[in-house]
Amino acid sequence: MAIALGARAPALGALAPALDGVRLSLHVLAAAVWVGGQATMAGLVPTARGLGEGAARTLARAFSRIQWPAYAVLVVTGLWNVSAVHAGQPPAWQAVLGVKIAVVALAGLAAWMHGRAASKAALAAWGALSSVSSLAALVLGVFLAG
Total domains in the fold of the chain: 1
Average pLDDT score, the chain: 89
pLDDT tops 70 at residue 10: no
DSSP character at residue 144: H
Residue 50 domain-assigned (yes or no): yes
Residue 1 domain-assigned (yes or no): no
Residue 2 domain-assigned (yes or no): no
Residue 138 domain-assigned (yes or no): yes
Show Cβ contacts of residue 135 under 8 Å, excluding neighbours closer than 6 positions. Answer: 35
**pLDDT of the residue at 4:** 47
Residue 7 domain-assigned (yes or no): no
DSSP character at residue 119: S
**pLDDT of the residue at 2:** 45
The answer to whether 107 and 78 are in contact (CB under 8 A) is no
Range of the domain at 109: 18-145
The pTM score is 0.85
Residue 11 domain-assigned (yes or no): no
With cut-offs at 50, 70 and 90, classify the pLDDT of residue 3: very low
**pLDDT of the residue at 88:** 86
pLDDT tens digit sequence for 14-34: 777 888 899 999 999 999 999
Query: In this structure, how many other beta carbons lie within 10 angstroms of the beta carbon of residue 103?
Result: 20
pLDDT tens digit sequence for 90-133: 999 999 999 999 999 999 999 999 999 999 999 999 999 999 99
Residue 106 domain-assigned (yes or no): yes
Mean pLDDT calculated for residue range 57-76: 95
Residue 4 domain-assigned (yes or no): no
**Virtual CA dihedral for 72, 57, 117, 105, nearest 10 degrees?**
20
